[in-house]
Structure 1
Amino acid sequence: MSWRTPLTKNLKELRIHLCQTSAGSKGTRDFILKQYSAIKDANPTLPILIREASGIEARAFGRYALGQERKVTLENLSEGEVEARIKQLAETRPSSSEL
């Protein structure tokens, strides 16, 4: 089973911020172009928000139960490295001490 299938087990929302043109966001753009459809098909109820803005650092946010969030930086990463970071967010379970 792919890591994409159980995203809703931990995540309540996934937000990805990137620049439309910068070299630092290229891996993130490539990840979205190639992986978004498969992720959304496997998780139709999960809100996946893609936010583009000129000159911003590529990053992703995972929102979990009780409104807790975690951020990972995606700047200057390859598509495969972006996938690994998103996977980390998906597999993260906030500890009770963090809530």
Structure 2
Amino acid sequence: MAWRTNLSRSVKEIRFLFCQSSPASAPAREFVNKNYGHIKALNPSLPVLIRECSGVKPQLWARYDMGVERCVLLDGLTEAQIGGKLEELAKVGESLKSK
């Protein structure tokens, strides 16, 4: 969980996209409900955007330096797996900084 503390150093913005009512988006909604406060407390300057759109598949976007963005589809993932995907995106940001 140490990566959460350094999230704002490797990522410039995080966006969650999901449907307000679809069962496929339920784990993404739950992840945001349970983890948003903790992530923001550790990274108060990091923009964490929540975008809801009817019928959209759940997605997680990360924006890095120089406008580089990465997207991960969250369809079919559990809350724990979504946390793992966020960690992977944070590691991508660390690797981009070292180049």
Same fold by TM-score greater than 0.5 = yes
Alignment-derived partner of residue 75 in structure 1: 75
Equivalents in 2 of 1:64, 1:44: separation in Å?
Answer: 17
Instruction: Give the drift of 1:76.
Output: 1.7
Give the paired residue count. Answer: 96
2:33 is equivalent to residue 64 of structure 1? no
**1:29-48 matches, cutoff 5 A:** 29-48=29-48
**Equivalent residue for 2:21?**
21
Structure 1 runs, 4 residues or longer, greater than 4 Å off: none
The one-letter code sitting in structure 2 at the alignment partner of 1:81 is Q
Describe the superposition over 1:70-97 as per-residue Cα deviations: whole angstroms up to 9, x where unpaired.
111111211101111111111213375x
Matched to 2:56, the amino acid is I
Residue 8 (str. 1) matches residue 21 (str. 2): no
- The offset of 1:34, in angstroms, is 0.5
Between Structure 1 and Structure 2, the one with more helix by share is 2
> In structure 1, how many angstroms separate the alpha carbons of the residues matched to 2:24 and 2:76?
4
Query: In the aligned structure 2, how far is the partner of 1:20 from the partner of 1:61?
Result: 18
CA contact (8 A) 1:23 1:76 kept: no
Q: Which string of whole-angstrom CA distances, capped at 9 and with x for unpartnered residues, describes residues 13-68 of structure 1?
A: 00110011111111101100100000000000000000001100100111000000
CA RMSD in angstroms comes to 1.3
Cα drift, residue 10 of structure 1: 1.0
